[in-house]
Structure 1
Amino acid sequence: MNIKFSKILGLGSIALATSLLVSLLVPTAQAATYSLPNAPTSVTSKFGSTGIVVRWTPADDVTPAVTGYVVSAGAGSCPVFVPAKKRGNIVLMPVVVGQPAGTPVVQAVNAYGFSKPTASTTSYTAAQLAKVASSSNKNVQLLQLSDLHGAIEVGNSFGTALLASNWDADRKASAATVALSSGDNIGAAPPISTEFEEMSTIESLNLIKLDVSAFGNHEHDRNLEHVQKVIGASTFQWVTANYGDESLKVLKSGTKEAKAYTIIERGGVKIGVVGANTPETIEQVFPGNLDYKDSAGAKKTIQIEPGVAGINKAVAEARAAGAEVVAVLIHQGWTENSDGVAKGLYNNLAAEIKGADAIYGGHSHQTFSTLIPSTARNATPVLLGQTRNAGVEYTRSQICLKAGKVVGSSLQHVLKAAAPTINTGVVSTVTTQDTAGAALVKKYKDQLTGKLDVKIGQVSAVFPRGGTPAVERSGENPMGNYIADLLRAKYKTDIAITNGGGIRDTFPAKTYIPANTALVRTGSGPLDVTLGDALTVYPFGNQVATTVVTGTNLWKALENGVGGNYPADGRFPQVSGIKFSFDSSKPVGSRIVEVTKLDGTAIAKDSKEYTLTTLDFIIYGGDGYLEVFSPAKAKVYGALLDVFVDALKADMAAGKVTQLPVLDGRVKKVG
């Protein structure tokens, strides 16, 4: 394949006013004896002297126990939290001056998340609400996304044009609206971003008026000079409180620099925003991407601190500087609800953060939201929220200040694929594309079509990716099997291992939209695939490499693959030439149950060596595969992308349709 591309090293409301968007809460995972709360019933409301009096009937109890109820009226409203232990299911909902028309809704909340909303039998016009509004009540609206990964085309994703128009509509509901990102805006992206050094995505974020972003690990997919270029091109503020003062100083370009926190004054409210990245970044990017030289010319590496010490310090400083509301952006993720507990590094850290009103996650590409009940650490419940990746949704949160004190908050997941109806009637999404956003994307798209819409083969069906948990990060996956088998056969080794997180889209890709409408992209197959699809699925520019691995180190490598943040970590091993089983209920480091050859012969933890094909990123310690794959004996070949594309082209030349592999049990979860 002679086409040259840039080489990227590294891994891997319910708004009841019809002018706003429908928002549906996506149910989170449920265990056999646990569940999200049931929705309240019999919601009624009436005017009070200083607000709207809302009553409801609680639904049957569930486990984990309901901690309280959120009463709100959509975008621009002033939600209030009512603890479950309070006698009487009735509350006075404050009303904000200028609040839009709406209908009160009530949701129960527990550790797993929010119930479906139940709407009041009475709705209110803006004029009616104005009669009981008070200037001592303030609304703050936070629009948040995460892990956009350069998905700027309208399709499965909102894209730049629809995100701009939707956020403009949202802002009309509240003067105190701030737009936030929890990181991974760039990297692991389709060609419309990667082929332009991600600048098309940064221009898009500028256009949609993003205010603040945290760093994610993929912001470091290229070297430090690229990070500095991104900072210089951004009209929004980058924040991270866990890089330490020395590392933070190198994240700058001209007069623009990253900060531990920032304060935005909007709609008469001072809103503090603190950021933090995952410390696993050093494992998840190519070696050297975090390196810099200090003023004396000495080589140093950006340090990303674990824990919440830096975050809590920044929150306190933001409060001291006058912030009335503080939001924290953490590039860490929720992984699953099980055993009555919401689990994930994001949840662990959120429980330790002091003084924040809302904490937004990312990184694990999952939908999640709940409230942390009041504690000695935080006087009022803390809102948690996280979105899926690739721009398929964003969160829209309302925070209510009454006489300067936060009294409640609510969160809605606004979906690109939102259903057209909810309990209270028909509500439409904003479907008019922002013209400037559409023009920006078209400018870049027109430069790619000629070389990327080239057909390279046909596949029998869509190669899947994603899900809850993501299939490529939690078990055997068809694309994982296909690539691992391809590499093992081509380089004639005993074993092949790739990382599930390296698979960045379905195939054909959802986030690559060919201009050639004659290509067959949906249906029962065969489906046409293009060079653009291939670049979208494997955007990192990783090189194929061979080496050797002992039985002992193979077990160690597989333990790494199923450890850490399973089932949401990109290090999960996709394999060929072996079978293995694991038990994720066991402690990290002792989860691998059995490893065998394909014929069932056991592979022992010993010094016997096996030949291996993998990626240069993995051989040199990426994704935590440290000191297992003998870098000194490695031989690096060509790009993974070339091997992938060449195999598809060979099938096409032979008149074959590339078949979706049937899962054969090479990876088995037990226990």
Structure 2
Amino acid sequence: MVLTSPQVTANTFSVPAAPVIKKAYLASNGIRVVFEKVSASPAVTGYVLSSGAGSCAISLPATTSGVVTLPIITGQSSATVSIKAVNAYGFSPARTWSKTFTAAELAGVTSTSWQTVQLLQLSDLHGAIEGTSTNAGTALLTTAFAAERAKNPATFTLSAGDNIGAAPPISSQFEELPTIESMNLMKFDVSGFGNHEHDRNIAHVQKIIGASDFQWVASNYNTLEPLKSGNKAAKSYLVLERGGAKVGFVAGNTEDTKEQIFPGNLSFGGKELVISPDVTGINAAVKAAKAEGADFVVAILHQGWQENRDGEAKGRLIDLAKQIKGAAVVFGGHSHQTYSSALAGNAAVNGTVIAMTRNAGQEYNRVTLCLDSSRRVRGTTVDLVTRANIATLTPNADGAALVKKYKDQLNAKLDVKIGQVNGIFAQGGSPQVQRAGEAAIGNFTADAMRKKYGTDFAYINGGGIRDKFPAATYVAADKSFNRPGTDKVAPYDVTLGDALAVYPFGNTVGVSVITGENLWKALENGVSNWPGDGRFPQISGFKFSFDTTKAVGSRVQSVTKADGTAIAKDSKEYTVAVPDFMIYGGDGYVGFFTPSKAKLRGLLVDVFIEAVTEASSGGKAITIPALDGRITKVNP
């Protein structure tokens, strides 16, 4: 199964149609394939042909003649030819030739010593080690990865960061060490850093590095000096040799990390970690890995694809992939979406493949590269493996035991019912609802903050909302609770564990003041990276509208009180309830919420729990509130 990217676009743009195979027949040196090229908008950047599992794929530029010979590699027992076209929006569906060539038929073909190398990649695990109906979890992923490695000894397993942080209680309540233990068990080889690896201070990062059996890589940090523990330390690049292949790995974190974490978390010994927004360090690391003998290099970026729009793939992942020189594959993450494509190549050099997955272990990428006898990459395929694809595997017993060990310690504390809901508060999606517009969970939380502290307004960042409610990542041990499932209907019981999965950061609500002018500025910051950025606002006590076709800084079109009274860009002050993370500049909200006047009150998660309990009093179930238009995107 190969990903076709979601389409967030006008009908005039799309992924290509599947090319038609006109002929596929045996030749002395492989399978001769003749196909019809296709046109698309955006333009086709290339084609990839494969003869099935365990085969060596061939990637072709858009200028191909439409004729190619697929190699048969030593040990290949059958061949089923398939083809896909690709453009900026993603890969086409596969077109498969009607005949499968058998081992007896292939025996007459001269085989080659070309080699396949397999990469298993996920991103943004966020401590989702406990398996659910949507998340694979440690035990199932351990089995799946072991099965993948059994098919190809040249297999490397990697993550694009945010393994920890914004995690459910089974990880966050134990300093995120259960997730690192899980990754060790799953035999990860390498991980880049994401912004959430820095949710706690440098001392915690050092603890995580010390607990890791895999290598951490960062190529765009100004220094790696503090990123070490004992004899373990982060590197600017890594070259691993396995199964006869030498693969280089480089990595880049998002430059927005400083804005997205608590101030001071990048500080050490009077110095500061600085994360570069450009690819200078990454390109230098690629060059160094190749000089060390890597057959090819993989770039691991904690940057995301956002959407396909107006004939272009949008997002920092795409922007940076085009600037990285010499990487065969660029993996992404951060925006919690599924995407894969390939940049344009030519007859001499294949186009770089770009791929990323959704968060929380819902899926992983299986990327297979074909190396010829001169160690040149000749083709690359991308297979998206979802939880459903591996559901019939037997979960690994050690992985199940690891999860149970920590789960048993949590049950008494978190399996406490706090109320009922008549449905599921949505979170996530493409784009993520809480990061792209008004969301019911945001309305409920912001309203609760404003009510509890008696302020004019409340304002939270959508990126702080980490799960649905009831939570997809929290599995209650008490089976008497009515929980979402295929055979269950609302109302659903909700627990402390659910609440901590939705709001895992431990942020405190502060009460401060904000001027009309700063409210407009705060909102401009909030919509500046629409869609998908965590700074997007969820609000209470006022309304605003925005237009994403306008330039950044001029997108907010109106701001009014709930009754429609205009809020001017002036010095008039309003009281506001807001998380301390934002008061002190997180997510780019620098100075807007008057830190000098802020008074810190209760934990955000406690405010949420109190509101759920109150709304469920007397045996009532909370009705998911209808959206009331407090946030309006005025352009299509």
Name the TM-score class by shorter chain: over 0.9
- 1:487 and 2:449 correspond: yes
Offset, 1:644? 1.0
Q: Which of 550, 557, 562 is matched with 2:522 structurally?
A: 557
Decide which moves more: 30-39 or 546-555.
30-39
Shift of 1:103: 2.3
- Residue 64 of structure 1 corresponds to 42
1:397 maps to 367
Q: Map Cα deviations across residues 265-311 of structure 1 (whole Å, 9 max, x no partner).
A: 01111100001101111111111111101xxxxx1111111110000
1:499 and 1:572 in contact (8 A); partners too: yes
Separation in 2, partners of 1:255, 1:344: 37
User: Could you list the runs of 5+ residues in structure 1 that have no partner in the other structure?
Assistant: 1-13, 15-22, 294-298, 419-427
**TM-superposition CA deviations, 1:141-191 (whole Å, max 9, x none):** 111000000111111111111111111111122221101100000000111
Determine the C-alpha separation between the residues in 2 that align with 1:198 and 1:320. Answer: 36
2:327 aligns with: 356
- For 1:323 and 1:108, how far apart are their aligned partners in 2? 28
- Counterpart of 2:511 in structure 1 is 546
- Aligned CA distance change for structure 1 residues 133 and 207 (closer, same or farther; 3 Å): farther
Kept in 1: contact 2:423–2:491 (CA 8 A): yes
Report the Cα offset of residue 84 of structure 1: 2.6
1:450 Cα deviation from its structure 2 partner: 1.7
Q: Match for residue 365 of structure 1?
A: 336
- State the partner residue of 2:628: 664
Q: Name the CA distance, whole Å, in 2 between partners of 1:139 and 1:131.
A: 22
Matching residue of 1:265: 241
CA-CA distance at 1:225 after TM superposition: 0.8
Distance 1:292 1:361, change over 3 A: same
The answer to whether the 8 A contact 1:545-1:615 is kept is yes
Partner of 1:651: 615
| Cα 1:574–1:375 shift into 2, 3 Å | farther
Name which of 274, 284, 291 aligns with 2:267: 291
Helix, strand or coil: the match of 1:654?
Answer: helix
2:377 to 406, 409, 418: 406
Counterpart amino acid of residue 91 in structure 1:
V
Task: Give 1:381's aligned amino acid.
Answer: G
Contact 1:311 1:353 in 2 (8 A): yes
Contact 1:232 1:256 in 2 (8 A): yes
Are residues 1:606 and 2:576 paired? Answer: no
Alignment correspondent of 1:241: 219
Q: Secondary structure of the residue that 1:417 maps to in structure 2?
A: helix
CA separation of 1:437/1:462 partners in 2, compared to 1, >3 Å: closer, same or farther? same
- Separation in structure 2 between the aligned mates of residue 497 and residue 567 of structure 1, nearest angstrom: 18
- C-alpha contact 2:45 2:345 (8 A) present in aligned 1: no
For 1:66 and 1:132, locate their aligned partners in 2 and report how far apart those are by CA, in whole Å. Answer: 32
SS in 1 for 2:619: coil
Query: Conserved in 1, the CA contact under 8 Å of 2:21 and 2:33?
Result: no
Q: 1:41 aligns with which of 7, 16, 20?
A: 20
Distance 1:172 1:45, change over 3 A: farther
Q: Give the superposition deviation at 1:208.
A: 0.7
**What does the per-residue CA deviation read over 1:229-265, in whole Å, with 9 as the maximum and x for residues that have no partner?**
1111111000010012xx2121001111000110010
**Change in 2 beyond 3 A, CA 1:133/1:338:** farther
Seq. identity, %: 55
2:350 alignment partner in structure 1: 380
| SS of residue paired to 1:120 | strand
Equivalent position of 1:158 in the other structure: 136
CA distance in 1, matches of 2:598, 2:107: 71
Stretch deviating more after TM superposition (624-633 or 656-665): 656-665
Change (3 A) 1:516 1:99: farther
TM-score (norm 2): 0.96
Alignment of 1:127-206 (within 5 A): 132=109, 134-155=111-132, 156-206=134-184
Q: 2:606 aligns with which of 636, 639, 642?
A: 642
Residue 318 of structure 1: aligned partner: 289
Change (3 A) 1:379 1:595: same
CA distance in 2, matches of 1:215, 1:206: 16
Report if the CA contact (8 A) 1:77-1:96 is conserved: yes
**Cα distance in structure 2, aligned partners of 1:197 and 1:127:** 56
* Partner secondary structure for residue 99 of structure 2: coil
The Cα of 1:125 is off from its aligned counterpart by 5.0
| Secondary structure of the corresponding residue to residue 254 of structure 2 | coil
Deviation at 1:132, TM superposition (A): 4.1
Structure 1 length as normaliser, TM-score? 0.91
The amino acid that maps onto 1:150 is G
Which residues of structure 2 form unaligned runs of 5+? none
C-alpha separation between the residues in 1 aligned to 2:542 and 2:63? 54
Is 1:473 aligned to residue 451 of structure 2? Answer: no
Give the superposed CA RMSD.
Answer: 1.7
- Given candidates 303, 307, 314, the residue that maps to 1:336 is 307
Q: Distance in 1 between matches of 2:610 and 2:443?
A: 17
Q: Which residue in the other structure is 1:104 paired with?
A: 81
Displacement after TM superposition at 1:604 (Å): 0.8
Listed one character per residue, the Cα deviations across residues 341-395 of structure 1 (whole Å, up to 9, x for unaligned) are: 101011100100000000000000011100011279x932101001010110110
User: Retained in 2: the 8 A contact 1:98–1:126?
Assistant: no
- The separation in 1 between residues aligned to 2:445 and 2:356, in whole angstroms, is 31
- Take 1:49 and 1:482, find their aligned partners in 2: how far apart are those partners? 68
Aligned residues: 630
Name the counterpart of 1:232.
210
CA–CA distance in structure 1, aligned partners of residues 103 and 412 of structure 2: 51
Cα pair distance change 1:659/1:386, threshold 3 Å: same
Change (3 A) 1:117 1:661: same
Question: 2:185 — aligned with what?
Answer: 207
